[in-house]
Structure 1
């Protein structure tokens, strides 16, 4: 489930009031007296919806009491269904679970290692029974546990059936007649299950789902949603349905129900079922839970080792449905997190819907101290609008290509990829990814400060393997035709074809330089531009390059510019990267630079006939390198000979304190171009001061002393500059 980081509105107090008033139990983790550990309370609220029409039992094993009206006792004592719910809150801690026995107007909860409770239920207008349960967890979270929590997913598993419950639940014969009357009289309307469920659903609709997608939901929310405006209706019409038949995209396990696992052919899902199918299997639902359990166990035992048995074991391990809650949302600053069963999942008929609400009560888990220590940076890809439908339509793209996704990489972290969505004009992700800035390597942060550009790729035309067709072409029109005469065996030909494993996509360049100006919240609407086709060697001796053209592509590039494609991105930072200024310098003293990024670069461009400046520049470079390597006591001709044959060792190449100049020299018949690098204060500043001041305007020096780099780029070229002669004057003009 991908969630959107929307700022909390004042209406969140309603849901807090409802959640606090419900019946709860408390659990705590291992106590600790360490003062550096945060003590927080997390309230877990689960709202499970059970369709009345799919409840399996019609008879109750519980005896009737003579003190109550027989009709009333019979109605309230009927056991409708059994459920088991487990979730993992903290990595390394055991799962927290409880069983549920559902009646018509109430439910009995059996928490593990705790006393059972009876709660009221609510039946909505669609004949779904909602069971609400609160549980408060007192957690002592150390810094190490918080770091483990960052990559942890809170997984909620749901099982339907008595066979998945504990022995205590199976053997219990609950009577709820007496308790039900007291619960009904002591519960006011404000704290009723109806208000709690509707408050959670309203919070989910307002903050955790895109507005156009709210009207595309297959399972309707238990609240009244106003009719869309004409502008919103246009966006709804331009948005594809969220459901995708891809197992990797579903956060909820698409499992077959018990009926299907027990050898029957009926697959019960949320889609409408014909009357004939219902009549054919109506006898199955008339069995009691005990009979259903016995039937399932007998069938599984009889078919042990078969595919059905493996499916049964898989469901027993993973549950009939799952909800994945990314816990990094807590680091992103959310106090209340609401998740729901994925709308594109296939659920058993005995489960209609489920909400999970997590609220940090006492303190924000990421308080001011931890925010200063970690400084989380969140990047949220909200949506993209006006995706191109030319030259290939959306329907054809859905048939030939993989669903649309975005990917990017920041710092040294793995490549982050969003979920996949079907091709449409407007696509909504609300994908949040988190980085802890204070834990990033200082060299990487320095490089990010010098080049704060984030490249995001949007892939909408990644062709499927089975959709690729071999199309005949005239010899000489394909990219590999040039090398076919020089192919030695099949291996080289296959390697040349592998170069074509490239798909056209869109690109977004996100400029995050404002973060270094003190900003902590940025919102972008950036145009999407087509990517550049890659270049590959044609195989000629001249090593020329050819670029893939539209004729060589198996599917044509999308026309992002004409379509006006735009992407919305949100960037939030917990703490400013610029420290507050406590005092100002009253004199002209310069602040010394840090040693984190000691290198800088300088560029010299001058005319070809300026031999005086050329000799001076080469002399200064030779002198600095000879001194750094211990050749400065020898004559000039010996220094030149020694530097031309000197090879840097691996230790010298990785030594950041070695005061040498590396780089290369490009020249043609019109001008010279020197690109040099080295330590700023010890090398580049010395070179800049030693050079004679250029006469006239035929010398151009490009140097920014405020830009630093954490590594050398040209150290492999050695201390003797590489000289490259260009025979076409326009090649050097292109470089400059």
Structure 2
């Protein structure tokens, strides 16, 4: 079949170019007009800023109509002699359904064209995109009946051609994109984009041992969701249980008005990954303005916050998970799972689970949110569910609410320890501080049996007043204000870095060239030789003086 290109933009029908003759340089000269003005501004913005447009380059399609196989009697077929051979029975399954023209999948190239520069106000783009090989289809989607037919069909001559070496051949697809009205220039277009794309996204990636940041982030998410669902008046334990079991089951119009945070939280014993979405100007901005990364940054630990206020989205991607913020824990670290060889063996792991592991692995190494959106690195809600089912372990309370070592006082461990068992960590610290005035000579530590941090009794209010009084006392000397006196104009004009008088006299002396290196003379003379002694010129280094 002649070479042709095929692509699909958003909800528009697929477009296929006219076939051209095979060659090293193929010119399609195809023009396709898309009425993007019929789309909502938010949908258009998401299409342009999201994953690039994939254009399929079909140059290896076979004409299946001419390769129809006629029926034959038993024993008259070419493959009849190979039925009893092991190689014929152990043949690999292909990714096509035989005897069906519409389901045959031919190998082709894929060129990814990014259209995000149109959001910067450009009217046309000239893009040269490299052509990659297409990804192999999932053979697990074939039924048993199709699989038996595929084994027989894979031995026939009508099977598809092998994959082409596009990258090795430096294959490039040149595309020109034009738009009638530039985007991102008028303010009304920006306002329309905000109303149709009200959601934002923020990603937190930090070490598993950073329990303080985990505690504050979970507490902030709980506070926002409780306030958005009007549960902030309930007790703390009932609020957590209600939010853990809550799920957005309302209409999209009502969901857009709820100021709640949705997403997922991945923990694997090495890293915490939060992918959170919500209203761009409310919940997400409130999380960003807390600047938790500045307070809880650890030396030598990973802490990345991916956020971009210019990126907005049309809908929530993780609204149909089991809870608002779906927490799950992997059995092994993500980097360990991606290094297992069996993961890359076909049919060993569900394809959607493999996609989730691959995207999350690249997501943990990203530094910019725009790169994550363009590379389509965010896993879908279905991928998260399958990944949690395949590699997830039961979630415990210490995974989300890690407890710090209790505060214990030297010489008295009963009262303070009893208070810590009855109250939360925050209430415990308040109670310990309450006992400080009653025990002024005590020193408190986290553990008496080991060498740990010990802090002294300090009254914060008294210390602030003492520091202010000391600062105020430094305003003047004990004898009052001291006047330095009046200076003459000559004294005032002196340079503060003026050199010493001895150095000034030395600079006034007459300059002598090479005075410090007068004793350094050349070992051999460098004068010219007379004409009658010219034969000694070459023996200069043999006969020193």
TM-score w.r.t. length of structure 2:
0.50
Which structure would you say has the larger RCO, counting Cα contacts within 8 Å and 6 or more residues apart? 1
The structure that is strand-richer by fraction is 1
TM-score w.r.t. length of structure 1:
0.37
